[in-house]
Amino acid sequence: MAEEQLNDTENPFDAETWAQLPEFLEHLPEPVHLVVWGDETAALRDKQAAILCRALARRFANIQFQMLPRRVNYDYWPVIGVMGGVAEDWRDFGARIIGLPDGYQMTSFITAIQAVAFRGAAAETLTRIQLAKLKQEVQLELFVAADNEAGALMAQPLFNMAVANPHIRAFMVMADQFTTAVNRYSINYLPHTVINGRVHIEGVVDEETILRHIARAIGA
């Protein structure tokens, strides 16, 4: 999905994409509340993120949308939070997208919505058992780009882990939109995952490997 497509406030997707979306979003078992932190009047990407989430909320009964002002504790905008529940009573599962999900990362965005709606059920059984023992805070930062197909493969387990354990937060960062974030970690290859700011994973790995790196990051 090209950025220019999002300029149409009524149709952020082309007809083919609209036709495919019901397969993934029509029958979500639990409601999802999309929160966009940004300023529609000040930045194009903020406006585009709002258009995207608003369009999904209008089309699918189990998706709601809310726009909130930029928060000082975020370095980049827009930020999309994928919450569980409804506007009056939503629950934060720690799933965030930093920037405008585009290209292959639209798949990652849909994955985040599904992870919250299905309460992380797509995570492997052994993964959920091991995560149940985790009591330390873990921050997962996944750096991807619009043309980074493999990034969507890493987003799926990371978002499900965040939903499965309240101590985990997963941030997918659109690295092609925020080069300063890439430079901060000297990232040369995508996808790139950083755990608690110090343990790095390059490429796509399985859930067992992610769990081992989480254990290293928390000193377990």
CA gap 112, 107 in Å, rounded: 9
pTM of the model: 0.93
**Helical spans, DSSP H, in the chain:** 15-20, 22-25, 44-59, 105-117, 125-131, 149-164, 179-184, 207-217
Report pLDDT digits (tens) over 34-48: 999 999 998 999 999
pLDDT of residue 201: 98
Cis ω before 78 (30° cut-off from 0): yes
Closest CA to 152 of 126, 169, 172, 170: 172
CA gap 48, 102 in Å, rounded: 10
Ramachandran class of 80: left when φ > 0, alpha when ψ lies in -120 to 50, beta otherwise: beta
Reply yes or no on whether the pLDDT at 184 is more than 80.
yes
The rounded Cα 177 to chain-centroid distance in angstroms is 15
- Three-state helix/strand/coil letters over 166-190: CCEEEEEEECCCCHHHHHHCCCCCC
- The residue-averaged pLDDT of 25-39 equals 97
Reply yes or no on whether the pLDDT at 115 is more than 80.
yes
- The residue-averaged pLDDT of 115-120 equals 98
pLDDT-based confidence at 6, cuts 50/70/90? Answer: very low
3-state secondary structure of 212: helix
CA gap 55, 6 in Å, rounded: 10
The rounded percent of the chain whose pLDDT value lies above 90 is 87
Q: In the CATH scheme, what architecture does the domain 3-217 have? A: 3-Layer(aba) Sandwich (3.40)
Domain borders along the chain are: 3-217
Report pLDDT digits (tens) over 88-100: 899 999 999 999 9
- The residue-averaged pLDDT of 88-116 equals 96
Compute the radius of gyration of the chain from its Cα atoms. 16
- The residue-averaged pLDDT of 72-81 equals 90
- Pairing type for strands 63-68 and 32-37 reads parallel
pLDDT of residue 220: 63
CA gap 193, 175 in Å, rounded: 11
- Strands across the sheet with 63-68, in order? 63-68, 32-37, 79-86, 89-98, 168-174, 138-144, 192-195, 199-202
